[in-house]
Amino acid sequence: MKLICGQKKLANAINNAQKAINNRTTIELLRGILFSTKEDMLTVTGYDNELCIETKIDASVSKAGKIVVNSKLVGDIIRKLPDSMVSIEVDEDYNMFISCLNSRYKIKGINAEEFPVVADLETEKMIKFNQAEMRHMIRQTVFATANEPVNPILAGELIEVSEGHINMAAVDGYRLAVRKSILEDSSSDDISVIVPGTTLNHLNSLLSDDGDFYMGVDPKNIVFVLGNTKITARLMDGNFTKYDSLLPKEYMSKVLVNTRNLRESVERAALLFSSEKNNIIKVSVSSGMMVITANNENGNAYEEINIELEGEDLEIAFNSRYFLDGIKNIDSEFIEIELGGPVNPCIIKPVDGVEYIYLILPVRVSN
């Protein structure tokens, strides 16, 4: 293999591929990145048996070929090179020679013949969607997926497409985040799949605030295409929680509050907590006022916030981090909080028209 390409584009392609590398794997081949050429194109691929990320960049290819090289080593070298043209050549012993201006490197590679081949997804139709909107949808939901749950499905997120709408939902047993949006193409086929939360985090890191991307599924995989980068990931098998049934139909009290004021008050109160344990805040609402209190061995906190209250006075307690997660992912100036009682689920949602619902379970505390 012999080629010349730009350092910036190559570094970006390697950075994308590295997101798919599982550094804990004992398989040397999967700790590497695949370089392969076809005509005047270099494809850089990372794969971990569940997720594949490949990026194609323009290159002047004088000899076709492919090789696998250590992900971290080649990435560190390419990123440190000057912003100029990079020459890459591979010999018969799988040595990769890299040169750029006054820099020369030789690194040992691996025969790429046994590198897993990810087949192109066979999907009848790709769904077009706005990148910026998907970034918002992922940001407002993926944090509610569970880490290492007893039920593996809780580590995934539901994506539904139906009747010109797309819904995304994540639940971890303590909270639920649901975000809905409208598709430009209302003729899209119905979809209901569960995607690993880690896959969506990787997708989110590649999305920009401009342009569109494409999404397609087959019975086992999902693919996202963003310009010259393609992400292919395994879908999760199982039944997702029927989240609509978790949403309360009525409330005892409804609070209208300034989002920033509430977020900053909770953040200050949470400064008392040095760990995830015993990080409980108590919330008391009465006419025109919300009081947030917290206390532990480090001291106590008291915060007052002006509110508008509809319904009854109420006292309730929450895990401060879970409560903050919902608030800080809402961009609306004001939010509504619907409270069904001290032991019933709480609903938090924006008032700016964005279809977003965050449900959180309260914490039972003694008086």
E strands of 123-184, at which residues? 127-130, 156-162, 165-171, 175-182
Interval 24-79: pLDDT, tens: 777 888 889 999 999 899 999 999 888 999 999 999 999 999 999 999 999 999 99
> Does the domain made of 2-110 have the CATH classification 3.10.150.10?
yes
pLDDT of residue 147: 87
More confident residue, 116 or 242: 242
pLDDT of residue 19: 93
pLDDT of residue 277: 73
2-110 and 247-360 in the same fold: yes
Interval 256-290: pLDDT, tens: 999 999 999 999 999 999 877 789 999 999 989 99
Instruction: Say if residue 292's pLDDT is above 90.
Output: yes
Integer Cα distance of 95 and 73 in angstroms: 13
Q: Which amino acid is at 245?
A: S
* Mean pLDDT, rounded, for 160-181: 94
* Mean pLDDT, rounded, for 241-258: 94
Residue whose entry in the numeric block shows the structure tokens 């591979």? 90
Interval 293-316: pLDDT, tens: 999 888 999 999 999 999 999 999
pLDDT of residue 330: 95
247-360: CATH topology is: DNA Polymerase III; Chain A, domain 2 (3.10.150)
Interval 120-149: pLDDT, tens: 776 567 899 999 999 999 999 999 999 888
The string of DSSP letters for 46-91 reads: EE-SSEEEEEEEE-EEEE--EEEEEHHHHHHHHHHS-SSEEEEEE-
Integer Cα distance of 260 and 313 in angstroms: 22
The string of DSSP letters for 216-281 reads: EE-SSEEEEEETTEEEEEEPPPS----GGGGS-S--SEEEEEEHHHHHHHHHHHGGG-SSSTT-EE
Integer Cα distance of 341 and 362 in angstroms: 9
Q: What is the dihedral of CA 143, 145, 147, 153, to 10 degrees?
A: -170
Q: What are the angstrom distances between the C-alpha of 37 and each of 104, 162, 186, 222?
A: 21, 39, 38, 25
Give the 3-state secondary structure of residue 148: coil
Integer Cα distance of 52 and 56 in angstroms: 13
Instruction: Say if residue 211's pLDDT is above 80.
Output: yes
- Checking 297-304 for CB contacts under 8 A at 24+ apart, the result is 298/272, 298/273, 298/274, 299/272, 300/272, 301/268, 301/269, 301/271, 301/272, 303/265, 303/266, 303/268, 303/269
- Decide if 1 contacts 75 (C-beta within 8 A): no
Domain ranges across the chain: 2-110, 123-244, 247-360
Q: What percent of the chain has pLDDT over 70?
A: 98
| Cα-to-chain-centroid distance, residue 81 | 30
Interval 188-201: pLDDT, tens: 788 999 999 999 99
**What size, in residues, is the chain?**
367
Q: What is the pTM of this model?
A: 0.90
pLDDT of residue 107: 96
Class of domain 123-244: alpha beta
Mean pLDDT taken over the chain:
93
Instruction: Say if residue 352's pLDDT is above 70.
Output: yes
